[in-house]
Structure 1
Amino acid sequence: MSADLRSMTAYARAQGGDERYAWSWEIRSVNGRGLDMRTRLPQGWDRLDNPLRQRVQGKLQRGNLQIGLTLRQTGEVAPIKVNRALLAELAEVARELHEEGAAVSASADGLLSLRGVLEPVEESAEEDEAQRNRRDSALLADLDEALDQLMAMRRAEGTQLGSLLEGHLRDIEDGVAQASAHAATQPDALRTRLRNLVEELLQASPALPEERLAQEAALLVGKADVREELDRLHAHIQAARKLLSEGGAIGRRLDFLCQEFNREANTLCSKSADVELTAIGLQLKAVIEQLREQVQNLE
C-alpha cells in the first residue's frame, strides 16, 4: 500500500494584510526534474526572495514552481519622490536611440513608469525598520500557509497516483504470469523445431558435421530462453511496490525502475520465438509506458 506519495502538480493561495497593505500569495507547481522556482515580487520587495526560497527548499524536493506576491495598498498612501538622476539618464538614452532610429520618442509617463524612477519617501528610520520587520514576518507566515496548502494538495494528488500505479503494477504482474506460462514450454518447442531442422539439413547436406549443428542449435535455444528476463521483471515489480510502501520523494527511483522494466520487456520481445509470447511482451510494453507516464508526476 502506498504511503505519503506526493504529486508535483498543485495550486495554493493565501491572503493576509495589515494596517497599510492587503496581499495574496499564489503558488503553482508542475512537473520538473529538480526544484526550480520562479518568483514574482513587487518592486521594492526583493528582500523576501531569499527567505522565500529557503522555505520552499525546506519543504519540497522537486517541481517547477511559480510563486507570486500581489500587494495592494489599503491605508495611507506613502509619499513618493522622483529619482531625477536616473530619469535624466534614461531620457538621454531614449533620445540617442530615437536619433539613431532604433526607438520612437519616449514619453514622460513612459519614463516615469520605469523601475526605480519613482521611489517611496522614507519615514523615520527606526519606525520603518520595526514596521517593515513586522510586515515581513506576517507576509512570510502567510507564505508558509500557502506552502502548507500546496503540500496538502500534492499529497492528495499523490494518494490518487499511488492507486493508479498499483493498478499498473498488477497489470504488469498479470502479463509476466502469462508470459511465464508460455515461456515454460518455449525451450522444449524450440528444441523440437531445431532438431527437425538439423535432421533436414543433414539429409540435404550430409557433409555438415552433426556436432557443429547441434552446438548452433543449443546456442539458439539459449538465446531464445526468456525466463531470466521474466525473473528480473518480477524483481522490478517487488522493488516498485517496496518504494510505494516507503513513500516520500521516490519519483526519480521509480522512473529508473520504469527504464529497467522497459529494457526487460524489449529483450523479451526480441528473443521471443512464439507469436503469443510476443503479443504479451508488446502488451507489457504498453502498460509499462502507462506506468512511466504516471511516475513523471511524482515528486
Structure 2
Amino acid sequence: MTAFARQESQQSWGSLTWEVRSVNHRFLEPHLRLPESLRELEGPLRELLRKRLSRGKVECTLRFVPEESAQKLQVNQAFVQQLLDATAEVEQLMPVSESLNPLDILRWPGALQDSRLDMEQVKNEALRLFKSALDDLVAGREREGKELADMIEQRLVSIASVVAEVRSKLPQILENQRNNLKAKVTELADDLDPQRLEQEIVLLAQKADVDEEMDRLNTHVQEVRRVLKQKEPVGRRLDFLMQELNREANTLSSKSIVTDTTQSAVELKVLIEQMREQIQNIE
C-alpha cells in the first residue's frame, strides 16, 4: 500500500527527522538511510518494521542535525592508532605505498567522535520517533485498505450477479441446444436411431453443466468477504482466492456452448483481474 509519514523532534542537542514511505510490493522490502553515527540502529529498526508490516517497499530516511553548541570533536586515539598500525603493516607488504596523511585519517569513519553529545540519548529518541512515524504510516495504510475493501466488495457483488444470471439462463440454454441438435440431425438423417440421439443430447448436457462451477464461484466470493474482515495480514490469502476464481471462470469459458455464457465468462475474468490488481496493494 502507498503511504507517507513524517515525524520531527527538536532537542537541546539537535534535531531528528524521519520520513517513511511505502509503495506496493508483494513482499516486505525495507530500505534504510541513516547517518553514519546512528548506523547501529539498523537492526532494531528492521525488527520494528517486521513486527508492524508484512508487505510493501518501505523507504525510511533519518536526518540528524546536531546543535553546534553541543558538539566538540575529539580524536578517537585508540581507533587512530589501529589505523596507523594497519598502515605500517600494509607498507611492509607494499613498500611503494604512501603513508596516510592526517587528513586521510580524520576522514575515516569513527576517527572523530563527539565528546559532549550523548549518542545513547539520540538513539533512544530516534527509535521513539520512528515508532511514532510507523504508527502514522500504518494508520494511512489502514485507511487505504478500507477503500480497497469497498472496491473489492463492489466487484464481488457484480460476480455474484453474473453467476446468478448464468444459473437462471442455464435451463433455457440447454433446452435451446437440445432443440438445435435435434433439428440439425433431422436434416441429415430422418432414420437416425432416436435412442442414439437422446444419448448425444445427454452427453452434451453433461458437458455444458456448469452448476458445480457456479457453486464454487459463490463459495469463493463468500470466502473473499470473510477474509477481508480479518484483522491480520490477508494479502497472500486473497492472491490465492483470485487464482481459484479465475480457474472457475476459465472452466466456465471452456464449457460454454452459447454466446451468453462466453460473454459471462469474459465479464467474470475482467472483474477478477480488477480485484487481483488491487489485492497486490493489500497487506
* Alignment TM-score, normalising by the size of structure 1: 0.78
CA contact 1:18–1:135 (8 Å) conserved in 2? no
Report the residue type matching 2:181 in the other structure: L
Q: Deviations over 1:242-280 (max 9, x none)?
A: 112224311111111111111111211221111122112
**1:165 aligns with one of 152, 160, 164:** 152
**1:143 aligns with one of 101, 113, 130:** 130
- 1:118 is displaced (CA, Å) by 6.9
5 Å matches for 1:19-168? 19-76=12-69, 77-79=71-73, 81=75, 85=83, 116=108, 119-121=111-113, 123=115, 131-168=118-155
Please state whether the residue corresponding to 2:229 is helix, strand or coil.
helix
- 1:141 is displaced (CA, Å) by 0.4
**2:238 aligns with one of 254, 267, 289:** 254
Structure 1 pair 188/297, CA: closer, same or farther in 2 (3 Å)? Answer: same
**Inter-partner Cα distance in structure 2 for 1:197 and 1:112:** 94
**Inter-partner Cα distance in structure 1 for 2:274 and 2:168:** 24
Structure 1 pair 20/148, CA: closer, same or farther in 2 (3 Å)? Answer: same
Report the residue type matching 1:120 in the other structure: L
- 1:225 is displaced (CA, Å) by 1.4
Report the residue type matching 1:194 in the other structure: L
Please state whether the residue corresponding to 1:33 is helix, strand or coil.
coil
Structure 1 pair 62/209, CA: closer, same or farther in 2 (3 Å)? Answer: same
Which residue in the other structure is 1:4 paired with?
none
Report the residue type matching 2:73 in the other structure: P
* Alignment TM-score, normalising by the size of structure 2: 0.82
Please state whether the residue corresponding to 2:257 is helix, strand or coil.
coil
Q: Structure 2: any 5+ residue segments left out of the alignment?
A: 95-100
Q: Which runs of 4+ in 1 moved over 3 A?
A: 80-86, 111-115, 195-203, 208-217
Which residue in the other structure is 1:286 paired with?
270
- 1:115 is displaced (CA, Å) by 7.1
The yes-or-no answer on 1:10 pairing with 2:3 is: yes
- 1:14 is displaced (CA, Å) by 0.8
* Structure of greater relative contact order (alpha carbons < 8 Å, 6+ residues apart): 1
Q: Deviations over 1:140-187 (max 9, x none)?
A: 000000000001101111111111111111111111122112223222
**Inter-partner Cα distance in structure 1 for 2:245 and 2:105:** 57
Please state whether the residue corresponding to 1:184 is helix, strand or coil.
helix
The yes-or-no answer on 1:232 pairing with 2:219 is: no
Q: Identity, % of aligned pairs?
A: 38
CA contact 1:198–1:214 (8 Å) conserved in 2? no
Q: Deviations over 1:1-34 (max 9, x none)?
A: xxxxxxx221111111432221111111112222
**Inter-partner Cα distance in structure 2 for 1:47 and 1:225:** 64
Q: RMSD over aligned Cα, in angstroms?
A: 3.1
The yes-or-no answer on 1:266 pairing with 2:220 is: no
